[in-house]
A and B are shown apart, each in its own frame.
Chain A
């Protein structure tokens, strides 16, 4: 199994570093899309509802949920996906669990996430 991890790691090694974020954070994922010969960047803004895979797992993914014209949309991105242009963290959320699936059952004001405020690290 070690060879497997090593090789997978080496195959994705050159991909860009993403900023730190966790479940509950509001992020915008800029995803590169190829349409024929043209390439454009599509932003996907929503809340991170889970991060799957350990910190040293090259295949880890995260799920972003947003409400698009009244319908909940979830999208799973691999952390090491080369098509991710960048990820911007808009808000840090304060949640008590690593996987906030309860959000799916909530809507409107109930579906808000409290903001987490950091003391500036000096």
Chain B
């Protein structure tokens, strides 16, 4: 696996060679730094810890400052671990968008936009109950029945109901990299990625 941490900049469009306009998401990915290399012998598994986005020293706790000092990297906001990193990784190494090439298929992980408390129609794609008219008056977006009668006389666990929606970790797979702007550490990905503008995303392959 290879991967980078980035920040969603926003969406735009891109014209490919055929002149087709593609919807694209721009991601500021990097410079990322390697802050820890985990190995089978010392940690029980192989992984690489990557850091992104400069933080002020005064906003970084003393233990974390020590952690960053070990790899000689200035304090960062976001740390992400990648299992079984495919590239040779040394402490303090810089990773940029040149890890990826145009045409690569990647996955992007982000935190989806919070939607608040939502009903079952929006949250789980239920279709509501019955008709809009014909005497019906308050069941349009209702969940309908939620279980059986006296056996089992309770609602089964995991029954889909209304509640907090969004704000969850979401992974979108099969996204194509359209353009890599190595000098600015920007990456252009076809389609949309989870999360709001300015939120952290993880690009992995």
Q: B13 near A: Cβ within 8 Å?
A: yes
Whether B26 lies near A3 (C-beta < 8 A) is: yes
Tell me which of B13, B21, B186 contacts A3 (CB under 8 A): B186
Cβ < 8 Å to A, chain B residues 26-54: 26, 28
Contacts of A1 in B (CB 8 A): 10
Q: A37-67 vs B: 1/0 string, CB under 8 Å?
A: 0000000000000000000000100000000
Whether A78 lies near B21 (C-beta < 8 A) is: yes
Interface residues on B, range: 10 to 19
Tell me which of A7, A11, A32, A59 contacts B19 (CB under 8 A): A32
Tell me which of A3, A11, A15, A78 contacts B9 (CB under 8 A): A3
Interface residues on A, range: 10 to 19
Decide yes or no: A82 and B19 within 8 Å by CB, A3-B26, A3-B28 being known contacts: yes
Q: B153-194 vs A: 1/0 string, CB under 8 Å?
A: 000000000000000000000000001010010101000000
Whether B18 lies near A34 (C-beta < 8 A) is: yes
Whether B12 lies near A4 (C-beta < 8 A) is: yes
Kindly report which residue of chain A lies nearest to residue B13, judged by CB atoms. A59
Cβ < 8 Å to B, chain A residues 4-19: 4, 7-8, 11-12, 15
Whether A7 lies near B12 (C-beta < 8 A) is: yes
Kindly report which residue of chain A lies nearest to residue B21, judged by CB atoms. A78
Contacts of B18 in A (CB 8 A): 34
Whether A82 lies near B15 (C-beta < 8 A) is: yes
Cβ < 8 Å to B, chain A residues 82-105: 82-83
Cα A3 to Cα B188 in complex, Å, equals 12
Cα A97 to Cα B10 in complex, Å, equals 32
* 25 pairs from A and B in contact (CB 8 Å cutoff): A1-B10, A3-B9, A3-B26, A3-B28, A4-B12, A4-B26, A7-B12, A7-B26, A7-B181, A7-B184, A7-B186, A7-B188, A8-B13, A11-B15, A12-B15, A32-B19, A59-B12, A59-B13, A78-B21, A80-B15, A81-B15, A81-B19, A82-B15, A82-B19, A83-B19
Residues of B participating in the A interface, judged by any CB pair closer than 8 Å? 9-10, 12-15, 18-19, 21, 26, 28, 179, 181, 184, 186, 188
Q: A3-B9, A4-B10, A80-B15 are in contact. List 18 more A-B contacts (CB 8 A).
A: A3-B28, A3-B184, A3-B186, A4-B9, A4-B12, A7-B184, A7-B186, A8-B12, A8-B13, A11-B12, A11-B14, A11-B179, A12-B15, A15-B15, A32-B19, A59-B13, A82-B19, A83-B19
Closest 3 CB pairs of A and B: A83-B19, A8-B12, A4-B10
Residues of A participating in the B interface, judged by any CB pair closer than 8 Å? 1, 3-4, 7-8, 11-12, 15, 32, 34, 59, 78, 80-83
